[in-house]
Structure 1
Amino acid sequence: MSTAVGSDSEVKAPRTMTRMRWAIIWLAFVGLSINYLDRSSLSVALPFMGEDFHLTATQQGMIFAAFFWAYDVCQLAAGWYVDKVGPRRSFTIAALWWSVCTMATSFARGFGSLFAVRFLLGVGESPAPSTSAKVVATWFPKSERAFATSIWDSGSRVGAVIALPIVTLIISFTTWHGVFIIIGALGVVWAFAWWKIYRAPQDHPRVGTAELAHIESGGARGAGSDDADAAKLPWRSLFRYRTILSMMFGFFCLNSAIYFFITFFPSYLVSERGFDLLKLGMFGALPGVCAVACGWLGGFAADRAVRRGHSVTRVRKTQIAGGLVGGSVIMFAAVVPEAWMALALLSLAYSSLTVAATGIWSLPADVAPSSKHVGSIGGIQNFASNLAGIFTPLVIGVLVDSTGSYVAPLAVIGAVALLGAANYLFVMGRVEPLKVKEPLALQH
């Protein structure tokens, strides 16, 4: 039986209610920040490693790609794994794995060993986003889900932004070897903190009865809320739902735009807008900083709309489609005459895409047929989204080489963002838990 969105338990919580759920999600934010710091560290440190490795540009590209090949391929299994063992174990093991691989990078001696540790790093980091989505589903009612998602999701942007100053600072005091030892050790410390602190709400000693009631009555996806038939739905059956297929395609469209900022954005500012190293350092982080702030504001606004009685379907579709439409302004960045205009448009685009991402990562908890499918759905849509990490840089590179500018690639990215918006508006159905289509006995 569904719980009314605007119920008193969601709108007004007792003053004595504990706030452990917010401590948990901020701890997840720190974990995601370390996760992205680890994966971004090599791109910053690699120029200082040249004397030891003598890598060609092609070899460097293959090493960077090794991470994404492993990360993407493992997404499907990672989501299933998170549902199987739970967030406490999955996040702890994943953090220890990626931290050890990060530290092992300091002992690499050539192309082969560096390729291997990056590949294994991708395997270790793959459960992180699905685990975070599972944490939100377990700990937060519907009326707080978007803002909680915006918190952990912003860790990906924070980790990438702080990589440049942190890595260069460590290198200035030690060597490039010290970079991977130090930031790898951070992950180990965080893993022990997560294992020590995290429990399900029902089992956590610092969760009061008022907070637990607030979580459960507000629509959190705990095991106690599961329908028996829905909980038994096989993982492979998820691909039979139009909602799931639409989520996969839509997230691919979103990441097709976001991966521009992760790959070619600095090169665009240097080659097309004439930024030198100083300008790149001063202004290059601006879109990322704006994206973090707007992601939080977008999540807060979405939750406020739900608390005011708007349907989750309307709120999520408005948030996601609106963010993708806003992200499509990236197509105009290449044609405006002034560099500051381009940077403003790119900041607007990245911020809008981040608002959409907050809604997209709220969907697994919204549509999962049971609590045992939240991580699986997160892994499924993230698998599709990271295919963009393989194809988008290739398409951008080919178009830049063939046309001599970024006009064509940014136009294509903007068009794909609009296609994604149309997908969420007109293809994806209602945002509600998926129903079992037929008796489970007939599915075997």
Structure 2
Amino acid sequence: MVEQQSGTQPSPVRGARETASRPSRTRWAVAAFCFGGLAINYVDRAAVSVALPFMTDDFHLTKTEQGLILSAFSWTYAVMQLPAGWLIDKFGTRLVYGACVLWWSFFTGLTALASSFAALLGMRLGLGIGESGAYPSSAKAVSAWFPASERARATAFYDSGARIGSALSVPIITAIIGAFGWRAAFVTMALLGVVWAIGWWAYYRSPERHPGANAAELAHINQGRDTGPVPEGPSGGRIRDLFRHRVVWGMIAGFSCLNFVVTFFLTWLPSYLVDERDFDLLKLGFFGMVPGLMAVAGSWAGGLVGDSLLARGWSLTRTRKTCLVSGMLLSSAVAGAVLASSAVLALVLLSVSYAAIAFAMVSVWCLPADVAPADQVGSLGGTQNFAANIASALSPIVIGALAEATGSFVVPLLLTGVIAILGAVSFGLLIRRVEPIAPSPSA
């Protein structure tokens, strides 16, 4: 009789048990969907910015009018943040996120039919309404699907979708414009959004209802939670009660400064490179995506550093504030671009600034899940995004008006650098501790 060697052939029963005891990775597929949604979000958002230098011949827009077009998105985007967060908490991430993508894809497609300044303005206003739900939905999904120990990496993952979308919008949109004209770019992106929404509705469920999440993954997701799974349903708290807490005001002030800075990269960067650094369409399509790609690296770094510091025993307060303050301070490098003697050096400084702002952005979107009661994560995410996007709405108008008044981007970029420093001060001084706030009493 041949003797079987011990340990060389694991039994099928033992292997099945070991497999069942390992957490499945459905949560990362959910994060990947959020990544894709935000990538499409930012390509659609930035499409006008990339196309605008080449649309001007059709619309005969002044710099001030261009600033209004670029900022119009943020007007409705900001106003809709509070209702979007409430709707997400009330009706669930699956329904609201998918509906938001369909809405903004509709207005992206309609932009191809615009024939006047007023029509283009209207399309941008409609786009902002739909896109308002993307970040709060992603924050809510990560809150539901990830434990605190993985939250920074998950947030960095989906936020890097926004950075990749911002970066790829330049070569994608310029390539479509070069081949088919600027109107075709908006039709293409609208169809892509519809495909994503169908996939999201088909795939997304809460962890307890998702067939792909095994018991081990559910236990992993809920580790350290006293209240159990994140609820999907009506919130018992009131949005106005969130404003009683100093940490919320610190989140709002710092994020507003951050958004003023990041909006420059999403709106005026292509025009700056064309007007001030003499980039043609080919150079814009190739080099214009460099800052966005660096922002992707910055976003990933923000997630890895955040989770690494927590794993080393740093407190949540120290971890989040370190990432926020350092990222905002380094992002002030945007002001240095005005002193650069060459386009290459200017592009390097802009890339450093955008990477730093993406590094800080990860911690910004960890804060709602870190701080809010479980049934108000979407509401707090919408609240901070509402205030921040008022600054985002003002940014392209202020930059455009100053550029037109002074004849260059020198003053606008210097101002942007100062605002980055103010953001670091806001995060550093207004936020004392990052810890869960008491649930609001029912209305």
**Normalised-by-shorter TM-score class:** 0.7 to 0.9
Indicate yes or no: 2:402 matched with 1:411. no
Aligned to 1:125: 131
Question: Which of the numbers 167, 170, 175 marks the counterpart of 1:161?
Answer: 167
Q: Which runs of structure 2 are paired with 1:26-65 in the superposition (5 Å)?
A: 26-45=32-51, 54-57=59-62, 60-65=66-71
Percent of aligned pairs with the same amino acid = 46
Indicate yes or no: 2:157 matched with 1:151. yes
Question: Which of the numbers 280, 293, 296 marks the counterpart of 2:297?
Answer: 293
Q: Is the 8 A contact 2:68 2:396 kept in 1?
A: no
Counterparts of 1:388 and 1:220, CA distance in 2: 36
Counterparts of 1:83 and 1:264, CA distance in 2: 34
Question: Which of the numbers 215, 219, 228 marks the counterpart of 1:213?
Answer: 219
Aligned to 2:252: 248
Q: Is the 8 A contact 1:399 1:409 kept in 2?
A: yes
Q: Report the TM-score when normalising by structure 1.
A: 0.87
Deviation at 1:276? 4.2
Question: Which of the numbers 147, 150, 153 marks the counterpart of 1:141?
Answer: 147
Q: Output one character per residue of 1:46-71: Cα deviation in whole Å (capped at 9) or x when no partner.
A: 566678x5453365544433322211
Question: Secondary structure at 1:334's aligned position in 2?
Answer: helix
**Over aligned residues, Cα RMSD in angstroms?**
2.7
Deviation at 1:382? 0.8
Aligned to 2:314: 310
Moved more, 234-243 or 161-170: 161-170
Indicate yes or no: 2:209 matched with 1:203. yes
Counterparts of 1:172 and 1:282, CA distance in 2: 13
Question: Secondary structure at 1:414's aligned position in 2?
Answer: helix
Letter in 1 for 2:363: G
Deviation at 1:412? 2.5
Counterparts of 2:319 and 2:398, CA distance in 1: 33
Aligned to 2:364: 360
Q: Is the 8 A contact 1:147 1:299 kept in 2?
A: yes
Q: Is the 8 A contact 1:19 1:207 kept in 2?
A: yes
Deviation at 1:294? 1.9
Counterparts of 1:74 and 1:154, CA distance in 2: 23
Cα distance change, pair 345–220 in 1 and its aligned pair in 2 (3 A): farther
Q: Which runs of structure 2 are paired with 1:60-71 in the superposition (5 Å)?
A: 60-71=66-77
Cα distance change, pair 112–334 in 1 and its aligned pair in 2 (3 A): closer
Q: Is the 8 A contact 1:137 1:222 kept in 2?
A: no
Q: Report the TM-score when normalising by structure 2.
A: 0.87
Aligned to 1:5: none
Deviation at 1:394? 3.1
Aligned to 2:105: 99
Letter in 2 for 1:381: Q
Number of matched residues? Answer: 423
Unaligned runs of at least 5 residues, structure 1: 1-12
Counterparts of 2:314 and 2:156, CA distance in 1: 19
Q: Is the 8 A contact 2:97 2:134 kept in 1?
A: yes
Question: Which of the numbers 262, 268, 283 marks the counterpart of 1:264?
Answer: 268
Q: Is the 8 A contact 1:79 1:377 kept in 2?
A: yes
Deviation at 1:307? 2.0
Letter in 2 for 1:426: L
Counterparts of 1:252 and 1:351, CA distance in 2: 18
Moved more, 348-357 or 232-241: 232-241
Cα distance change, pair 407–215 in 1 and its aligned pair in 2 (3 A): same
